[in-house]
Amino acid sequence: MAMAKIILLLVVLVPIRMAAARRDCPKVPLLGAVAACQKACGTKLMHDLCISMMRQGGADMSPSHMERATVYAILAAHSAGNSFDDTKLAASNQLSQNSSLSTTLRNAYEGCMNDYAPADSSIDHIADEALPSCRFKGLADEYTRVITSVEKCRVRLLSPTLVKTPLYPMVLADRNKAVLANLLGKLLGI
Ligand SMILES: *[C@@H]1O[C@H](CO)[C@@H](O)[C@H](O)[C@H]1NC(C)=O
């Protein structure tokens, strides 16, 4: 009975330890959350977004608490991915439920859904696979693909009427989150 419990504990604990160990990528700096934001961000807009993203993501903000930069990059990529999902849901709800959408608006929203598909798959790959397993090769291009895909949708919405739709501020926020994720990724030498 006791032996079975110990074996069960080992089975549960070993994968957790391994998952944590994989984030200890070689040559990745160890730093506090606030320091990571200061180091990564050159503008007040990005810096403030970084601090609020860290808080919302549950990062320990005390200056004495250090984490591998990988942890912050993963947090930012997850935060951007979740934000993309909210935007896609808002757009698809409008497309399926709002019968008073103009053709222009409908085309723009449909275009944005297409733009978001590569952004979404790339940010998920970055957050869930590449960063946790320390595979940084090719990630600079993948971050660029995320940003340019979201930016394509933002530019699509830049007409005087489309820019006033509720989707525009969501897309703008997504673009900024994608840029922030990339900036934190650069702390890993990406
Ligand atoms: C439907 O679309 C119109 C035009 O963009 C918008 O003004 C309205 O708020 C939308 N309705 C809902 C319920 O979202």
- Atom 4 in ligand 1: residue holding the nearest Cα: 101
Q: Which of helix, strand or coil describes residue 67?
A: strand
Query: In angstroms, what is the span from residue 101 Cα to ligand 1's centroid?
Result: 7
Could you tell me how many residues make up the chain?
A: 190
| Distant-in-sequence, close-in-space partners of 11: CB < 8 Å, separation ≥ 6 | none
Q: Are 116 and 88 in contact (CB under 8 A)?
A: yes
- Tokens 């030498």: give the residue: 189
* Model pLDDT, residue 21: 42
In this prediction, residue 26 carries a pLDDT of 83
Ligand 1: residue of 89, 93, 94 to mutate (most ligand atoms within 8 A of CB) is: 94
CA of 94 to the centre of ligand 1 (A): 7
pLDDT on residue 23: 54
- With a Cβ cut-off of 6 Å, ligand 1 is lined by 98, 100-101, 105, 165
**Minimal CA–CA distance to 87: which of 132, 128, 123, 59?**
123
The overall pTM is greater than 0.95: no
Helix (H) or strand (E) holding 30: strand 30-31
- Taking the C-alpha atoms of 90, 91, 93 and 98 in order, what is their torsion angle to the nearest 10 degrees? 120
What is the Cα–Cα distance from 19 to 92, expressed in whole angstroms? 35
Do 159 and 107 form a contact (C-beta atoms < 8 A)?
A: no
CA of 98 to the centre of ligand 1 (A): 6
Q: Which fold has domain 70-186?
A: Butyryl-CoA Dehydrogenase, subunit A; domain 3 (1.20.140)
- Cα of 112 vs centre of ligand 1, distance in Å, is 17
- Token look-up 């990564």 returns 40
User: Would you say 174 and 83 are in contact if contact means Cβ atoms under 8 Å apart?
Assistant: yes
| Mean pLDDT, the chain cut into blocks of 10 residues (190 residues total) | 50 45 76 98 98 97 95 98 98 96 96 98 97 95 98 97 96 98 96
